[in-house]
C-alpha cells in the first residue's frame, strides 16, 4: 500500500489494529496512486521539501554541489480530500496532538501533512553540520 522508500517498510491491513503509516514527502509520492486502496489507513506525511536521504549523501560526498534533490510537492491536503480522506496540514508541533486525535477518530482514512525543517533530517546531525563536516574533511585532505 504505502511504502516508506527510505527504509523499505510496508504498511498492510491488520485486523482490529489501527494502521498508521509514516512517510517522507518523496516516499508518499512514490505510491500515492494507491490512496483509493489505502482509504481505511491513516498516513502521516513528514514533509521537508527534499529527497532528504539522497540530499544527505550529496552533502556528505559533494558538499559544495547539491543537485536535483528539491521536491515540488502537490497540495497533499487537497490530494487526500479528492480521494475522500479526512486531511489536515500541521505546521507547528503544538497542533499535532489534536490533529492526530481527529485523524484517529475520523470515520474515513486520514492524512496529516506535517511540515518539518529539512535540517531535522536525523536526530544526530543537521544537514548544515553534514556539509560543514564534509568541507572540513576535504580541506584536511587537500
Ligand atoms: C521505491 C523506491 N524508490 C526510490 C528509492 C530511493 N530513495 C531512498 S530515500 C529516498 C528519498 C526519501 O525522501 P523523503 O521520502 O522525502 O524522506 P526524507 O529522507 O526526506 O526524510 C529515495 C527516493 C527507494 N528507497 N524506494
The structural domains of the chain, with segments of one domain joined by +, span 2-141
- CA-based nearest residue to 50, from 72, 32, 30: 72
The pocket around ligand 1, CB under 6 angstroms, is made up of 5-6, 24-27, 30, 48, 50-54
Q: Which of 2, 27, 55, 60 to mutate to test the pocket of ligand 1 (most atoms within 8 A of CB)?
A: 27
Return the ∠ at Cα 115 (arms to 110 and 121), rounded to 5°. 115
Contact between residue 103 and residue 112 where contact means Cβ atoms under 8 Å apart: yes
Atom of ligand 1 nearest to the CA of 25: 16
93 alpha carbon – ligand 1 mean position (Å): 24
pLDDT of residue 15: 59
- Residue 116 DSSP symbol: -
pLDDT of residue 41: 84
pLDDT of residue 10: 46
Whole-model pTM: value is 0.86
Atom 8 of ligand 1, nearest CA residue: 6
- Residue 47 DSSP symbol: E
Three-state DSSP class for residue 92: coil
Atom 11 of ligand 1, nearest CA residue: 51
pLDDT of residue 11: 47
* Domain over 2-141 is classified CATH 3.30.565.10: no
pLDDT of residue 2: 40
Question: E strand or H helix at 43, and its extent?
Answer: strand 42-47
Size of the chain in residues? 142
Residue-wise pLDDT tens for the chain (142 aa)?
343 444 444 445 555 677 889 999 999 999 999 999 888 888 999 999 999 999 999 999 999 999 999 999 999 999 999 999 999 999 999 999 999 999 999 999 999 999 999 999 999 999 999 999 999 999 999 8
pLDDT of residue 44: 94
Amino acid at each position: 500500500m504505502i511504502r516508506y522508500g527510505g527504509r523499505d517498510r510496508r504498511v498492510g491491513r491488520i485486523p482490529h489494529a489501527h494502521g498508521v503509516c509514516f512517510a517522507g514527502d518523496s516516499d508518499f509520492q512514490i505510491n500515492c496512486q494507491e490512496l483509493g486502496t489505502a482509504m481505511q489507513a491513516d498516513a502521516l506525511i513528514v514533509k521537508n521539501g527534499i529527497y532528504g536521504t539522497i540530499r544527505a549523501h550529496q552533502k556528505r560526498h559533494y558538499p559544495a554541489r547539491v543537485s536535483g534533490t528539491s521536491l515540488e510537492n502537490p497540495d497533499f491536503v487537497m490530494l487526500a480530500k479528492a480521494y475522500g480522506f479526512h486531511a489536515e496540514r500541521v505546521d507547528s508541533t503544538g497542533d499535532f496532538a489534536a490533529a492526530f486525535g481527529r485523524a484517529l477518530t475520523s470515520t474515513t482514512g486520514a492524512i496529516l501533512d506535517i511540515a518539518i525543517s529539512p535540517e531535522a533530517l536525523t536526530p544526530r546531525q543537521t544537514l548544515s553540520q553534514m556539509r560543514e563536516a564534509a568541507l572540513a574533511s576535504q580541506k584536511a585532505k587537500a
